[in-house]
Structure 1
Amino acid sequence: MAAGNEVSPAYYIQHHLQNLTFGKHPENGWSLAHSAEEAREMGFWAIHLDTMGWSIAMGLLFIWLFRKAGKVATTGVPGTLQNIVEMVFEFIENTTRATFHGNNSKIAPLALTLFVWILFMNTLKILPVDYFPELFKRLGVDYMKIVPTTDPNATLGMAFGVFCLIIYYSIKIKGVGGFAKELSFTPFNHWALIPFNLLLEIVALLVKPFSLAMRLFGNMFAGEVIFILIALLPFWAIWLLDVPWAIFHILIIVLQAFIFTVLSVVYLSAAHEHH
């Protein structure tokens, strides 16, 4: 992947962790970044095209699969796809019933979307780390990270969406005054402690999206780094370590999708509660 005949381990790791970035460079104007330095110089408003593309692709795959399952659904002997979709539906329904105590018909569909979408994005990690970067290099694209959840921009974006829903339902269910009163008189129900309560509650409120985002990102990014480090080993060692780590990581992939979904439902349940 580097210019020349040899690829240093440092360059290999940096290359595989670099996003395909499009933004406004101070000297080159709007363009693709051809190095990590150029990507950093583009600043905050640069877009990670690979993160956007693969996350949208996994969302479309989710819609297509579940739409197809709905079309071929039968009351007779179900097919494999229908069985899988029904298992996921039942799992999310039971999880939502156990964790959400409000009255909102939109929470279960939201939980289903979050779980399957994140699961699909995480599952891309199982693909060998060299295949897609090498394929896109042959097509003239320098960088290609295919796992959106290893990009904090993607996980923060999803978490911020959940945070907006938390604020929306907190105000809708409790009213502006009720929500403000909840922040002011929790955990200590005394007017003299309102400043202290506000400090605690606002910090706790703001921590929710960051904890959601960074937990998912941290686990996925760490797993990706380990896959990359294994790929630097001799051929025989790659198969010896890569397969067991991939099998173990399947559990992490599912678990992180589940944790993000459950915590989102729990936070939304708290937004529907009257204190």
Structure 2
Amino acid sequence: MATYDSPGDYIDHHLGHWVIGDPESFWSFHMDTVLFSTLLGAIFFLIFFMAARKVTSGVPGKMQNFLETVIDFVDGQVKDSYHGNNPLIGPIALTIFVWVLLMNIVKLIPYDLFPYLASFVGVEYLRINPTSDINATAGLALGVFVMIFYFGFRAKGVGGVGKEFLTSPFAANALWLKILLAPINLFFKTVEEIVKPFSLAMRLFGNMYAGSLIFTLIAISPWYLQWALGFGWSLFKLLVIVLQAFVFMALTIVYLSMAEEDH
């Protein structure tokens, strides 16, 4: 098990990742992020799969009631924010909300538990909260970015998407003015599209990483303050955890709706 010479060493250790490969190289993997995001995705699938097999039209059990509440909540957000007719939007929104929520909520597990257990098998660094890693949030955001263009091309075709890049946000009626504004529109539209995944990734990462840092600072505080500070911060963080999962899902729905709309 790791020993720490100073609070700074403790913070550095607990904000480190289990890295496979050269940490200074692009071709390295944060195995803790890969492992726990995959595991939580599998748990999400297993819970919904088992609930679907036991679903009944009669008196539902507690699990069915809970999952129906979650599904109804997501479905309501889709109906409010999405203006197309694509049956994939609901499942996509549900998957994003539940998966991000699970990756956020593991932050509430006792902070030193898994790093302590990992030390017995020779793993020096371990972080179980995937969304506090920019690689995980960037991967999710890039997935949304790909879907934006996929749904856009499917709804409007290459010509329709290309027209949007050349004619918005500044529209014109005269042909010569359209030609004059086309490079400016292309620049602004490109920036607009690039900002979408960037904002998704950074918003989620920033909130989750800040939470991890606060938990680390609480862990090095005097023992008689840890329980009170940890309990209070956990209650507040629970709100942030749910809110950030909701924001990521809601923005994804809005972006996909915008991609399919023909302005």
Give the C-alpha shift of residue 130 in structure 1.
Answer: 0.7
The correspondence for 1:259, drawn from 244, 247, 251, is 247
Which residue is 2:79 aligned to?
Answer: 97
Q: Deviations over 1:107-151 (max 9, x none)?
A: 100000000000001000001211111110122111110000000
Q: Deviations over 1:36-55 (max 9, x none)?
A: xxx22xx1110110000000
Which residue is 1:29 aligned to?
Answer: none
Q: Aligned partners of 1:119, 1:84: CA distance in 2, in Å?
A: 15
Q: Aligned partners of 1:8, 1:132: CA distance in 2, in Å?
A: 21
The correspondence for 1:16, drawn from 14, 17, 23, is 14
Aligned residues: 257
Which structure 2 residues correspond to residues 262-273 of structure 1 after superposition, within 5 A? 262-273=250-261
Give the C-alpha shift of residue 73 in structure 1.
Answer: 1.4
1:184 aligns with 2:182: no
Letter in 1 for 2:262: H
Give the C-alpha shift of residue 101 in structure 1.
Answer: 0.5
Give the C-alpha shift of residue 68 in structure 1.
Answer: 1.1
1:123 aligns with 2:105: yes
Letter in 2 for 1:51: T
1:55 aligns with 2:55: no
Letter in 1 for 2:147: L
SS in 1 for 2:51: helix
1:153 aligns with 2:151: no
Runs (4+) of structure 1 moved beyond 6 Å? none
Which structure 2 residues correspond to residues 1-275 of structure 1 after superposition, within 5 A? 2-3=2-3, 6-23=4-21, 25=22, 39-40=23-24, 43-190=25-172, 191=178, 192-275=180-263
The answer as to whether partners of 1:173 and 1:272 remain within 8 angstroms in 2 is yes
Q: Aligned partners of 2:5, 2:91: CA distance in 1, in Å?
A: 46
Q: Aligned partners of 1:202, 1:269: CA distance in 2, in Å?
A: 18
Q: Aligned partners of 2:155, 2:234: CA distance in 1, in Å?
A: 44
Q: Aligned partners of 1:235, 1:251: CA distance in 2, in Å?
A: 25
Q: Aligned partners of 2:49, 2:160: CA distance in 1, in Å?
A: 40
Give the C-alpha shift of residue 74 in structure 1.
Answer: 1.5
- Structure number with the bigger relative contact order (C-alpha 8 A, sep ≥ 6) is 2
Q: Deviations over 1:59-109 (max 9, x none)?
A: 000011011111121222211111110000100000001001011100100
Gaps of 5+ in 1: 26-38
Letter in 1 for 2:97: F
The answer as to whether partners of 1:2 and 1:11 remain within 8 angstroms in 2 is no
Q: How big is the alpha-carbon RMSD for the aligned residues of Structure 1 and Structure 2?
A: 1.0
The answer as to whether partners of 1:13 and 1:228 remain within 8 angstroms in 2 is yes
Q: Aligned partners of 1:81, 1:48: CA distance in 2, in Å?
A: 33
Q: Aligned partners of 1:136, 1:172: CA distance in 2, in Å?
A: 46
Q: Deviations over 1:135-188 (max 9, x none)?
A: 101221111100000000000001000100111111121111111111111111
Worse-matched range after superposition: 178-187 or 215-224 = 178-187
Q: Deviations over 1:222-272 (max 9, x none)?
A: 011000000001111001100011011110000000000000010000011
For normalisation by structure 1, the TM-score amounts to 0.91
The answer as to whether partners of 2:2 and 2:124 remain within 8 angstroms in 1 is no
Q: Aligned partners of 2:160, 2:104: CA distance in 1, in Å?
A: 39
The answer as to whether partners of 2:2 and 2:119 remain within 8 angstroms in 1 is no
Counting aligned pairs with the same residue, the percent is 48
